[in-house]
Amino acid sequence: MKEIKIALVGYKFMGKAHSFAYRNAGVFFDLPARPVMQVLCGRSEKPLRIACEKFGWAEFETDWKKVVKRSDIDLIDVATPPNAHKDIVIEAAREGKVVFCEKPLAATLDDAYAMLDAVERYGVKHALCFNYRKLPAVALAHQLISQGKLGKIYHMRAVYLQDWITDPEFPLVWRLQKEVAGSGAHGDLNAHLIDLARFLVGEFEEVVGLSQTFVRERPLLEEKGDLTTGLVVTEKSSKKGAVTVDDATLFLARFENGALGSFEATRFAPGRKNGQRFEINGSRGSLVFNLENLNELQFYSQDDPENLRGFRTILTTEAAHPYAGNWWPAGHIIGYGESFVNMVADVISSVATNQNPSPNFHDGVRCQEVLKAVEDSIIKRQWVKVK
């Protein structure tokens, strides 16, 4: 069987998720090529060495520039913070590698344009990890809408609610620093909602938004050596630094097809750990999805007999549902990690058959254009057209 040798840059949260996907894609999917977990790359050697062994990579490297130049690597997977995406992607594309990147595509719209230009100029395949598209329930929602089951779409309302930074003493991690993350809840959480909206409803026409940073200073983190393990550990300092991103961003939208949308992303919703939810209303019916019940899709149809109308809950674990037939027998649910397995299976299959994966950098740029339009509308306090 053909092999696709992978180098993954980043070994923490997303690095773990992507490693899980590469290890399991060939177990659950009949792939036209085998992903080979060749190199894991990161900055700190000791924790990287541990992750390499734990996740199942053949070797590790601390210099990504050496990795992208290796002739035995076919695909570079970028799972770093957003500010590092551009340089790695452009160099990987120049070396002729397939590029698979975490969302958002970049820290800024200009960087996103430069990355798309690079993969097109060097003619390499490219993919973007909007993994929620790959959940059976979301893919089924796409099918139902494409088949006209909802009729003309009127509304989409979506929220992504978390609570992990409600404590004002929570430290100033990289996600709260604009120079690294690009933005806060907006670029992290609204990016997913925007991609789902484009996937399910269509392209954005114009937006208007508002945002707020509720806690403007947080304790800094200091690195210290642990004499017992030899590892570098981070601890909270008594000093504080400025939070330079949004804690919450809300916006309204008009779609090109005439539908209306409302979107809310916040990290200040106590009790909501990963509360992503959307509802779509059309002339013939409605759909509701809740990430915390990710195997279920609620569907209401005006075509049902009047005395039987109501939201039905579809458990999306049957072989008839997208991706589900590759997993367990009907009724045996899948979880968050499996969305990455589905994503990687699609990427490997597309690359092996000489097709560009979906979603890809075009989707990343479109998402980034909406993110930027919302940011501009907040500054201008007016509706802004999406490019």
358 within domain boundaries: no
What residue numbers bound the domain in which 41 lies?
Answer: 2-132
- Asked whether residue 58 is domain-assigned, the answer is yes
CATH number at residue 25: 3.40.50.720
pLDDT at 223: 76
Instruction: Tell me the per-residue pLDDT of 87-105, one tens digit each, with 9 for 90 and over.
Output: 999 999 999 999 999 999 9
285 and 188 share one domain: yes
Q: Are residues 190 and 330 located together in one domain of the fold?
A: yes
Residue with more model confidence, 205 or 1? 205
Q: What is the reported pLDDT for 232? A: 58
pLDDT tens track for 148-162: 999 999 999 999 999
Last residue in a domain, options 132, 161, 184: 132
Other C-beta atoms closer than 10 Å to the C-beta of 356 total 16
Give the amino acid at 217: E
187 and 106 in a common domain: no
- Residue 171 in any domain: the answer is yes
The residue among 226 and 217 whose pLDDT is bigger is 217
- Residue 155, strand partner residues: 260, 281
Q: Is residue 357 part of a domain?
A: no
| Residues 162 and 226 placed together within one structural domain of the fold | yes
User: What residues have CB less than 8 Å from 239, skipping those under 6 apart?
Assistant: 219, 220
Q: Where does a domain end: 97, 132, 167?
A: 132
pTM for the whole structure: 0.95
Q: Cα–Cα distance between 384 and 222 in angstroms, integer? A: 41
Judgement on whether residues 11 and 84 belong to the same structural domain of the protein: yes
Q: What is the pLDDT of residue 248?
A: 98
Are 265 and 286 in the same domain?
Answer: yes
Number of domains in the chain: 2
Residue 82 lies in a domain: yes
Give the confidence band of 230 by pLDDT, cuts at 50, 70, 90: low
Tell me the C-alpha distance between 381 and 278, whole Å.
26
φ, ψ of residue 329 in degrees (nearest 5)? -60, 160
The rounded Cα 11 to chain-centroid distance in angstroms is 16
Both 284 and 141 in a single domain? yes
Report the 10 Å Cβ neighbour count for 339. Answer: 24
274-320 pLDDT, tens digit per residue, is: 999 999 999 999 999 999 999 999 999 999 999 999 999 999 999 99
Q: Once rounded to an integer, what is the mean pLDDT over residues 19-39?
A: 98
Q: Are residues 141 and 287 in the same domain?
A: yes
Task: Based on the fold, state whether residues 164 and 213 are members of the same structural domain.
Answer: yes
Over residues 36-61, mean pLDDT: 97
Q: CA 160, CA 379: separation in Å to the nearest integer?
A: 22
- Within a domain: 352: no
Q: Are residues 112 and 172 in the same domain?
A: no
pLDDT at 219 over 80: yes
**53-80 confidence digits (pLDDT tens):** 999 999 999 999 999 999 999 999 999 9
**Predicted confidence band of residue 222 (pLDDT cuts 50, 70, 90):** confident
- Residue 304 confidence (pLDDT): 96
Same domain assignment for residues 125 and 162? no
Residue 139 has pLDDT above 70, yes or no: yes
Is there a domain that residue 316 lies in? yes
Which residue, of 66, 101, 132, is where some domain finishes? Answer: 132
For residue 359, how many C-alpha atoms fall within 13 Å in the half-sphere facing its CB? 28
In a domain, 342, yes or no: no
The confidence score (pLDDT) of residue 231 equals 58
**Lookup result for tokens 């909501």:** 272
Output the average pLDDT for the chain: 96
Q: Are residues 122 and 262 in the same domain?
A: no
Handedness of CA 34, 40, 41, 42 (dihedral sign): positive
Which residue shows structure tokens 């504080």?
Answer: 240
Higher-confidence residue of 348 and 225: namely 348
